[in-house]
Homo-oligomer: A and B are copies of this chain.
Amino acid sequence: MPDSGPIDTLLPLAPAAFHILVALADDDRHGYAIIQEVAARTGGDVTLSAGTLYRSIQRLLEQGLILETRERPVPKLDDQRRRYYRITPRGRAAARAEARRLQQLVQIARAHGIVPARA
């Protein structure tokens, strides 16, 4: 399953994969920066380990949900170790589908009175 086929077959998205895609929604980022972005965005609740991050990135590349860019956001001050990644349209679609799926879960929980009201 390289980079085609229905998005549904990718769901449910692995939690780490979802976080990475969301972190790349706004800007291209390199791996280490993704870890920091996710931690910051979740208030420290989600701290991707290095092992999880780089394995997830490999899978996302194979699935065509992200791609590596040679562009450097700030060409002058650069760090040759960094590898920057960009979300693809397909990656955006996958993240959107996953978000919808999560939203449905919350809806079901609400229908069963688990959640007081809507947040």
**What residues make up the interface of A, taking CB atoms closer than 8 Å to B?**
12, 15, 18, 21-23, 25-26, 41-42, 45, 92, 95-96, 98-116, 119
Contacts and interface: CB of A to CB of B under 8 A. Distances in A.
Contacts of A22: 108-109, 112, 114
Contact of A106 (B15, B21, B99, B108): B99
A114 B95 contact: yes
Main secondary structure of the interface of A (DSSP, over half): helix
Q: How many copies does the complex hold?
A: 2
A115 B103 CA distance: 10
A102 B15 CA distance: 11
A119 B105 contact: no
For A22, A101, A109, A114, the residue with the greatest tally of chain B CB atoms inside 10 Å of its CB is A114
